[in-house]
Amino acid sequence: MKTYKKNCLRFFLIFALLLLFLLPFNKVTAEPNIPNPTNLKYVNDYANILDNNTKESIVSVGKELEDKTGAQAVVVIINSLEGYDIQSYANKLFRKWGIGQKDKDNGLLILVSMNDRKRRVEVGRGLEGAIPDIYSNKVMEDIFKPSFQSGDYNKGIDESYQVFATKIAKEYNVNLEKSKNISLPKESKESNSSKFPIKIIVFLVFLDIIFNKGRIIKSILELIFYSSFFNNNRPGGGGFGSGSGGFGDSGGFGGFGGGSSSGGGSSGDW
């Protein structure tokens, strides 16, 4: 009788552990619910947070940008990421819609998830020179984030879009007549002081190499490597659309050109 109880308990524990282990993978392997583009094309507000003036501003600048350069800059605002990380969701949406021209990959996506309080700028490979990751993050931190934290969603979206559109236009040596010419705020002394912790880290690394033969650094790097290896090899994980196939490669729809993204950009919250 005791043996029977032990076997039942062992079976229950194994089943519970398997269930806990497999649940995260079931969540990842399911496809996210990517919406279709709206008829406004350049601004797709599924959360209904923008007023008509903001939408008209974005559409007019977006159309002028595309007419003069062929590049496409798109805003997408959703309610929820449905449990997905925003980088994977943005890359999936970018490729499904085919933002930008297929032969140039000159698209840009601003994705905002309201319930998750997260944002992502996804940049096509053809615009990574004009919009590097550090620049896209600065725009969203300095312009988008303060406005969203204060509840002024229209200002945050519109001004961020204007900055990106103007920067893309400069890459093509054209001027946007309908642009509001929003510029980034100048760096303060406080932002420059943020470089100080980097010096501390470098100093600590130096001490570890001299006095501990780099054992701590080695352990940290191994931990990062194995963590990254595990995440990238989960079923359905590792970022959607990282290969050459997937959505959007056959031309897109809704007026988009079939462009794709290689994962460049920046993510954050507010």
What span, in angstroms and rounded, lies between the C-alpha atoms of 96 and 241?
9
133 or 236, greater pLDDT: 133
Same domain? For 19 and 63 the reply is: no
Q: 26 is in which domain, residue-wise? A: 1-30
Q: What is the per-residue pLDDT across 100-111, written as a single tens digit (0 to 9) for each?
A: 998 899 999 999
Contact 53, 85 (CB under 8 A): no
The predicted structure's pLDDT at residue 8: 56
- The count of other CB atoms within 10 Å of the CB of residue 9 is 10
The predicted structure's pLDDT at residue 188: 46
Same domain? For 18 and 139 the reply is: no
Listed residue (167, 159, 87) closest to 119, CA to CA: 87
Same domain? For 24 and 47 the reply is: no
Sign of CA dihedral 256, 258, 259, 262: positive
Tell me: pLDDT of 30 over 70.
Answer: no
Mean pLDDT of 237-247: 33
Same domain? For 71 and 137 the reply is: yes
Q: What is the per-residue pLDDT across 66-91, written as a single tens digit (0 to 9) for each?
A: 999 999 999 999 999 999 999 999 99
- The count of other CB atoms within 10 Å of the CB of residue 22 is 11
What tokens does 235 get?
């079923």
Q: Is the pTM of this model over 0.85?
A: no
The amino acid that residue 260 corresponds to is S
Helices within the chain (DSSP H only): 2-29, 52-69, 86-97, 133-139, 145-149, 153-171, 189-192, 196-212, 215-232
Measure the N-to-C terminal CA separation of the chain; round to a whole number of Å: 58
What tokens does 167 get?
């920067």
The predicted structure's pLDDT at residue 190: 45
Q: What is the per-residue pLDDT across 144-190, written as a single tens digit (0 to 9) for each?
A: 999 999 999 999 999 999 999 999 999 999 999 988 877 776 654 44
For residue 66, list its beta bridge partners: none
Q: How far is CA 142 from the centre of its chain?
A: 17
Give 237-241's long-range contacts (Cβ < 8 A, gap of 24+). 237/28, 239/87, 239/88, 239/91, 239/263, 240/88, 240/89, 240/91, 240/92, 240/95, 241/91, 241/92, 241/94, 241/95
Same domain? For 97 and 14 the reply is: no
Say if 157 falls within a structural domain. yes
Q: What is the per-residue pLDDT across 37-50, written as a single tens digit (0 to 9) for each?
A: 999 999 999 999 99
CATH number at residue 79: 3.10.310.50
Reported as a pLDDT band with limits 50, 70 and 90, residue 136 is very high
Tell me: pLDDT of 226 over 80.
Answer: no
Same domain? For 261 and 148 the reply is: yes
Say if 248 falls within a structural domain. yes
Number of domains in the chain: 2
